[in-house]
Structure 1
Amino acid sequence: MAVQRSRVETPRHERTVRGRERAWEAIVALTRSARAGRSGVLLIEGEAGTGKSLLLAKAACAAAAPGFSTATGGAGEFAKAAPLEPLLSALAGLPFAGDAGPVGRPGRRLRIIEEIRAALERRCGEGPVLVALDDLQWADPATLTAVHTLTRALASHPVVWLLARRTTGRATETGRLFDLLEREGATRLTLGPLDDATVREVVIDMLGAVPDPDLLALAAETGGDPALLAELLSGLRDEDAVTVVGGRARLVTPRIPERVRADLGRRLGRVSPATRHLLTVGAVIGRSFCPEDAAEVLGATPAALLPQLDEAFCEGFLVVAPEELAFRNGLVWRVVADAVPAPVRRALHRQVGDLLMERGGSAMPAAASHLMQGVRPGDARALADLDRAVAAVTLVSPRSAAALAAHALRLTDPAEPAWPARTVTAVRALSTAGRLEDALDLVDSALLTPLPGETSARLRCLRSAILPLTGRTGEAAAEASALLTVPGLSGELRDEAELVLLNAQAGMGDDRGARARAERIVFAADGHGDALVTGALITLALSEWGSGRPADGLRLARAAVRRAESADARRLHPRMILTMLLIDVHRLEEARAVMAGAGEEAETAGHLAWAAAPAVLRARMHLAEGRFHDAAAEAGAGLAITSRLGPHVLTSYALSVLATAVMRAGDLRGARRYAEGDRPPPCHCGSPYADARLRLARAQVTVASEGAAAAAEAVGRLCDDLETHRWTLISESTAAPWLVRTALALGDRARARAVVAAMDRLAGGHPVFPCLGVTAAHARGLLDRDRDALERAAAGHTDPWARASAAEDLGMLITAEGPALRRDAVAGLDTALAAYTDLGAARDAARVRRRLRRLGVRRRHWSQADRPVSGWASLTDTERSVSALVAQGLTNRQVATQMSMSTHTVAFHLRHIFRKLDVTSRVELTRLTIEAGP
């Protein structure tokens, strides 16, 4: 008889062939050919549950209506004990099938095959015939031989053969048959997992509603297995785990339905005990695991596990991932893991954690995760191991260390002697990981309990260091000042409090007080630690920068880098500060070298609140080189990081770069959105610098959007601030010319003269920085209408956008000198137009074209230069480079290393690439990249 396998009892109208359209089209084509008198063979293969049986059943139903004779059957798991059983069970339903009787010797089998052939030929005289045979992976050799013989013998008759087999397992004979039939002309289709879009459609089909994100995420855990997906949805519906309201299906509980657990449990029970042990250990290790790890936990070698691995593959529990083994889908993994009793699971997590801790390196975050799950409250030895793990993991993965330290503290009773030390460790780890509010909450609650004096002082010191990073600079200064009055304070804590107070003074704009304190610290450097002296040198470097002495600023910043030998000193990121200053004076190659030396310093040597620094600094470099789209992408990645961490100086920095880059690219609306974003409060040394940049960007966007009059007050403040601070003039090479141009437009010649005078003093005192002299010439050329000065600026600016701006100013100056110089004016404006066009500065190019038209010259607007919003042509050069590296199989970290950017920035670029190309996976991206060519 035909073999019936268990399946979800779903109403007929709910069964679909979602995601199997190609297979269904092939079946329809074969049935049409059969009606025309031609035969055909379709081979359908795939893993268990991919919908082969459903396709065969639907084909038989569809063929029966138009007058086909149908014969359906299938092999059972023990079919080899019953030769020819699949064919005989299929033909038993046909009225012309004779009684073959029991199958005995080979001669008898040959006669039966001949009888089947003759019977099918007779039936073909009445109309086409469809023969559907399922589960041929279990078929006996006689059946496989008969199928091959019959397909050839009936090739001239209207017979459609639909043959299906499961690809998991060791069905080598069936595989050879399929290979042979394909060579003889059969069509072969492999059914893979359903894609995400099809999974969503199936959910809608079965539940009659649009799924919410949680339900869709649980459905995705099936890995696109149609049978498992149907089982899951039916189980959720039967157990009232989903509700449907207003056409929306909402998941009530993420618990896996009992029917799914039971079915997977039965499958697990069919494998050998040794294979179950392997799967259990693998599930505890994770959704994917290395066979070496499983072998070590089991006390075996990978070679000794080969029989168990082979069985796990054949039974469909495991698949091969790129570098590891993985459970076939999330539901299988969860069911196997959940089947492990809690005490056993905890012990295994502890064993795996210890194993990975010994390995070190990149295994440390995973080790931390396992140790967190393997320790019980009050287990002193295990908690001591957690303490060591926190120290080991901190430099590799601050986030893992924070989670581990917080977990160790939760498992420690406040009355235990280790509780104060673990509290300090947890606070430090949380703040290092950027979980600033969590760290503050823990400090505040701990300080309400009786603590040893040293612990209390250390927690207060940590609190004062965290507060500035959340924008509470004044509160930090007060806390640090109070702490310095505590008698008997250790030198280490006194240094930390001094550093907080120093940074707080600088962050609140008390340059004189911060400078005096920093000078005292440097003078007595031998009596202080590296961190405090490094912080003092950074403060002095920034003070010199703001005072208009960039040479001294660079000297002090380099001294800070040399001094930062300890980990605590490196957490102040002197390399990032030096890079920032080098970019200001357009020493970009040296800036890149310093950045390369820093590596991923911001992520591995200090607060993750500084993790955005590499991206933001690279954005500044791109902006200085005229790559506006790349600058916006990097700054956007940096802003995404800072937005998760709360107020930070880098937020202002990123917003200023974003607003400027987007404005120069021609998107005023986007520039206004970034420029008008909430400015975070001053919170760290260097915030006056970032504040100056953002105020300048806001004023520039306002003038571009609404005209000079709308920004008159802001421009006045920027000009007046130059009396005490030179941040604006040094940090942006176009600032002085823009301020002069805007002040003149407002009729404020006095302020324009003040800007030029300040820029002249700055350039005259520092001839070693040519960029300052060129900027000064540009500003003076605008004020004095000096053609020679503007020609020098148009030729000398290293910033390509500033060079184009100077050429435009030169062209406008010559235009005003009269029609006799029209040719020179047009030449200057053409130079500006070409530069703006090359940079993709659409709004600036349009303005120059208008000015040329007033001179009677029309320049074509090359619309093909406009970047589309989607498709391959919409990608920037950087996005194409990222796509090419991803297509080579590189991970995000490998791409980041190749392109000298952070992994956060790579992820940011990939999100934009996926959106522009309308893809959802790296596989699809790879295909499109290959199709696009070099």
Structure 2
Amino acid sequence: MTAAGQALSGSGLRGREAERERLRSLVASVARTGSAALALIRGEAGIGKTVLLMDTAEHAAAAGYSVGLGKADELHHLVPLSSLLTCLTPGGRPLLPDKALARLPQSHDHRIWLVQRLAEHIETLTARAPVLIGLDDLQWADPLSVFVLTQLPTRVRALPVLWLLTKRQGPPQEADETLTAASRALTTADVHLGPLPAAVIQQMAADALGAAVDDSVHDLLEGAGGNPFLAAEMLAGLRSAESTGRSVPSGLVVGVRGRLSALSADTLHFLRIGAVLGRRFRFQDAAALSGRSPAAMIGPLDEAVRTHVLADEGESLIFRHDLLRQAVYADIPPSARRALHRAAAQHLVDAGRQPIEAVSHLLTGALPGDEEAGLLLGRAADDVLAVAPGLAADLLTRAVELIPAHRPVGFDVGERAIVALARAGRDKEALATGETLLARHPPLDVYGRIQAAIGATLWNLNRAEDLRRLVDTTLAVEGARPRTRARLTALRALALSRGDDLAAAREAGETALRQAIATGDREAHVQALFGLGETALNAGDTADAQKRFMALSSVDPAYLPEEIVACQHLDDFARAERLLGRATSQGEGARREAMLQWAQGQQRLGLGRLDDAETDFVTMERLEDEVGASVQQVNARVIRSRIGLLRGDRTAARQDLLAARERLAPHPNPGNTAAVRYLEALHADAMDDHALALEHLREVQRHDGYMRWRLLRPWVDEAVRIALRGGDRELAEDLTAQAEAHAARNPGVPTATGLAARTRGLVSNDIGLLRSSVALHRDGPRPLNLAEALADLGAALVSAGHRAEASEVLTEARAVFTESGAHAAAARANGLLGGAGTRVRRGSGNPRPLQGWQALTASERKVARLVAAGHSNRAAADLLVVSPHTVNTHLSSIFRKLSVRSRVQLTHVVLASDED
């Protein structure tokens, strides 16, 4: 029999033949098909999960796999990515280079970037061989590792990667998000390990003790409950008793407890120190905490290793099984346990380790009033904020509880807690923390800082009026420092940008900008420029908005998407395209990748590339879902629904409308509400319910004026047609006046001037103005706006009896609609052509089929051919000048439409289609 803790290797897999074969079948399937799979092995401690994982890994390695194995640690479960990094070094080569890891803390939220980078490195590895990535004890994995494991398997589903995870069995109702997420896109196996049958346990006894196993031993082994580790420990205890001539103890004491009770007092003391440090610990750390020299601890170490309680791996010591560590740990009195954890934390910090490595000990050992512990938690939170904002928020919240209420440093930690909670999307907790701090009556300068932090949270919650009141009240109190006043004034500008007095908003923004520059406060600088840009957009002054956002992106490149969208409002799509290319190639969008996808989607939509625009909005929504943010989800669904109406796919359009309503419910701010109401008007109009469409449009108009500017800026012609069809000329006139006012503010923007001419032409039934509108739109970059202008002109010409000219412009409109994929709009133009006496072309512009090669969009075919030719996702993205996230979304759609699961299968389909 092998050493305890290893007794299940080899023949110890007896009783697990079915599970073993199931996992080996997955190994073969992944290698054969080239598509990923994930297996989760569950069961109680000691049931054999680790042994089964190791056996599968050894089999995969023999089959040519590159294998990376790791283990999560109970006392290091807060160190970001620590769990996953233990298994991302197959063959000794780090999957993610150290220099890449060093970039993680540089910006806002790099979790999306991290997943993408890992996916790219795994793709490189799989070019050489299939890959197995195994992680033991998932239940103790750090939050960032769990996040990555929830996203990454799906991201690399088309690659030969086998994910092999083990996890202790939890409550029956426990749902494992890693397995659930993977099951939507790849083959999964949920392997439950239950107790071994009595016959298998008896055979283990025969292997260990020989054939003469009496009934008393069988009765004793029943106490193991079919757990192979406990059975092996009992058998080891029996063999030890026999060899020393001692009497055989009864019950479980011959197991784990029996082994420990036989150790010397010094060894038990050493093991207790080690158990506090974790399953894996360093000898020098344990010696230091013991208060003895390393030389004095050699004897206890030797006994612990000789009795197979510990294994010596050179750089560290490790308990051979978690149950051994837990048995030692449980025997430490709770008060002593807490004190040892606090001492361990102090030792690690004094030894120069990162604060995050001491966090688990601090959370267990620190008591209220421990200011030093609170400050250490604050330092650790700062280190992890960029990649684990939720963890940072938890650490800072705990730090606030530890630091004495009367200590000034507690206010600084509390302010950072508010910021971290807001970053984690926990705005209500952030407000509650702010109220707690204010109740402690901070000094006036601190009071202003806390109010500024609370104000930023109110902005996140779309509570502009509450924000304005808070800022006005705070600014009225003397004592705030210049930097704090700059931040508060910038927040006031933001709040005012959502009101009617935009002149006051602009004045507040300019004041805040001057104060920010004078004090050198970057946060105030960013907020002031953002407020000025928002104010300009809401005033319809797109040139000023572009100027403000360009200045903002130069201060903080994370706001490049805002500059890109501002360029689109100016019809400067060429500059917007250059900025998108720069962000994609240089990684400048990595800080806010979802917003960059939003900007790219708006670009494609404006250029009439409906398929590509939809892909971008789908990608944006996925990225926001991954990090638990919901910034543009309502608006994205509104646009996707509108695309569905343009295509004539009312089922998809209706589904997106329902999704927009669902996403609106938790965040019913005025902008999102107006967007959904306007979409409802479009749906009612498409169903020829003109009265209902008109009522929804009136609801939109009842919102604040700024929202009408933003919402109707590119769509005001649709709104005018709805008003006219509903018989409300007054509303049509009001909308036209809005379009003309916007054009007056933006005289050099063809879309603005073209829409103004067109809406006036529609209201006045003026063919001359409609012709002018067409000419103006020809100077702009938006083909769908041009097609709509041609259709409006064509309809007016048909009514006026100018059939020849009508036929010409309507034929062009139909062609532009068809080219963009707007099949419903093309059909309407076709119908007008019939009214003009032109022979209608049947079957033109039919939607694509749902399945097969012909179902792919033009961009999807490009991606399919590039991938089939051997290009990686990153390489394909670089060639197409899009983000790898966009390519990943294309591949998901390609795989679904072609019913393939791997790149190998995709290559076969591409080769066959190119031969046809």
Name the TM-score, length of structure 2 as normaliser. Answer: 0.57
1:881 to 863, 867, 872: 863
* Offset from partner CA, 1:699-750 (integer Å, 9 cap, x none): 333322343322223445667889x65x656776652332333333234445
Contact 2:615 2:886 in 1 (8 A): yes
Deviation at 1:784, TM superposition (A): 0.6
1:839 to 820, 837, 842: 820
Cα 1:552–1:859 shift into 2, 3 Å: same
2:432 to 441, 456, 465: 441
Distance in 1 of aligned mates of 2:431 and 2:600 = 31
Distance in 1 of aligned mates of 2:397 and 2:857 = 43
Deviation at 1:503, TM superposition (A): 1.8
Contact 1:729 1:736 in 2 (8 A): no
Report the counterpart of residue 538 of structure 2 in structure 1: 546
Equivalent residues in 2 for 1:236-255, closer than 5 Å: none
Report the counterpart of residue 812 of structure 1 in structure 2: 795
2:381 to 382, 390, 393: 390
Aligned to 1:933, the other structure's residue is in SS state helix
Deviation at 1:868, TM superposition (A): 0.8
1:801 aligns with 2:784: yes
Cα 1:509–1:594 shift into 2, 3 Å: farther
Larger radius of gyration: 1
Equivalent residues in 2 for 1:771-920, closer than 5 Å: 771-782=751-762, 783-786=765-768, 788-789=771-772, 791-792=774-775, 795-818=778-801, 821=804, 824-853=805-834, 855=837, 857-861=839-843, 865-868=847-850, 873=855, 877=859, 881=863
Report the counterpart of residue 255 of structure 2 in structure 1: none
Deviation at 1:556, TM superposition (A): 3.9
Aligned to 1:670, the other structure's residue is in SS state helix
Report the counterpart of residue 137 of structure 2 in structure 1: none
Aligned to 2:842, the other structure's residue is in SS state coil
Report the counterpart of residue 227 of structure 2 in structure 1: 259
Report the counterpart of residue 904 of structure 2 in structure 1: 927
Report the counterpart of residue 719 of structure 2 in structure 1: 739
1:815 maps to a residue whose letter is: V
1:844 maps to a residue whose letter is: A
* Structure 1 gap ranges (5+): 25-46, 54-166, 168-192, 204-210, 239-255, 270-282, 299-331, 359-363, 565-569, 605-609
1:547 maps to a residue whose letter is: A
Cα 1:440–1:548 shift into 2, 3 Å: closer
Report the counterpart of residue 617 of structure 2 in structure 1: 635
2:575 to 579, 590, 597: 590
Cα 1:490–1:873 shift into 2, 3 Å: same
Cα 1:471–1:734 shift into 2, 3 Å: closer
Report the counterpart of residue 415 of structure 2 in structure 1: 424
Coordinate RMSD, CA, aligned: 6.3
Aligned to 2:571, the other structure's residue is in SS state coil
Contact 1:409 1:419 in 2 (8 A): yes
Deviation at 1:795, TM superposition (A): 3.7
Report the counterpart of residue 684 of structure 2 in structure 1: 702
Distance in 1 of aligned mates of 2:27 and 2:529 = 71
Deviation at 1:763, TM superposition (A): 3.5
Report the counterpart of residue 170 of structure 1 in structure 2: none
Contact 1:811 1:825 in 2 (8 A): yes
1:514 aligns with 2:505: yes
* Offset from partner CA, 1:631-653 (integer Å, 9 cap, x none): 33433444466679999764554
Deviation at 1:817, TM superposition (A): 3.6
Aligned to 2:687, the other structure's residue is in SS state helix
Contact 1:875 1:916 in 2 (8 A): no
Deviation at 1:543, TM superposition (A): 3.4
Contact 1:659 1:672 in 2 (8 A): yes
* Offset from partner CA, 1:84-129 (integer Å, 9 cap, x none): xxxxxxxxxxxxxxxxxxxxxxxxxxxxxxxxxxxxxxxxxxxxxx
Report the counterpart of residue 655 of structure 2 in structure 1: 670
Contact 2:670 2:703 in 1 (8 A): no
Equivalent residues in 2 for 1:355-754, closer than 5 Å: 384-395=375-386, 398-406=389-397, 408-409=399-400, 418-449=409-440, 454-521=445-512, 529-532=521-524, 534-561=526-553, 564=555, 570=556, 575-594=560-579, 596=582, 604=591, 612-639=594-621, 650-665=632-647, 666=649, 667-674=652-659, 676-677=661-662, 679=664, 695-716=677-698, 728=708, 734-749=714-729, 751-754=731-734
Distance in 2 of aligned mates of 1:408 and 1:612 = 32
Distance in 1 of aligned mates of 2:522 and 2:177 = 53
Aligned length: 673
Report the counterpart of residue 205 of structure 2 in structure 1: none
1:841 maps to a residue whose letter is: A
Deviation at 1:504, TM superposition (A): 1.9
Aligned to 1:861, the other structure's residue is in SS state coil
Contact 2:486 2:524 in 1 (8 A): yes
Contact 1:372 1:404 in 2 (8 A): no
Report the counterpart of residue 261 of structure 2 in structure 1: none
Contact 2:691 2:726 in 1 (8 A): yes
Deviation at 1:196, TM superposition (A): 9.9
Cα 1:837–1:487 shift into 2, 3 Å: same
Distance in 2 of aligned mates of 1:268 and 1:872 = 67
Cα 1:355–1:649 shift into 2, 3 Å: same
Contact 1:471 1:648 in 2 (8 A): no
Aligned to 2:480, the other structure's residue is in SS state coil
Task: Report which structure shows greater RCO (CA 8 Å, sep ≥6).
Answer: 2
Contact 1:872 1:917 in 2 (8 A): no
Report the counterpart of residue 154 of structure 1 in structure 2: none
Deviation at 1:463, TM superposition (A): 1.7
Distance in 2 of aligned mates of 1:905 and 1:368 = 40
Report the counterpart of residue 567 of structure 1 in structure 2: none
* Offset from partner CA, 1:124-182 (integer Å, 9 cap, x none): xxxxxxxxxxxxxxxxxxxxxxxxxxxxxxxxxxxxxxxxxxx9xxxxxxxxxxxxxxx
1:769 to 749, 773, 776: 749
Cα 1:420–1:50 shift into 2, 3 Å: closer
Aligned to 1:507, the other structure's residue is in SS state coil
Distance in 1 of aligned mates of 2:614 and 2:752 = 25
Deviation at 1:552, TM superposition (A): 3.4
Aligned to 1:492, the other structure's residue is in SS state helix
Aligned to 2:497, the other structure's residue is in SS state helix
Contact 1:616 1:653 in 2 (8 A): no
2:492 maps to a residue whose letter is: L
Deviation at 1:469, TM superposition (A): 1.1
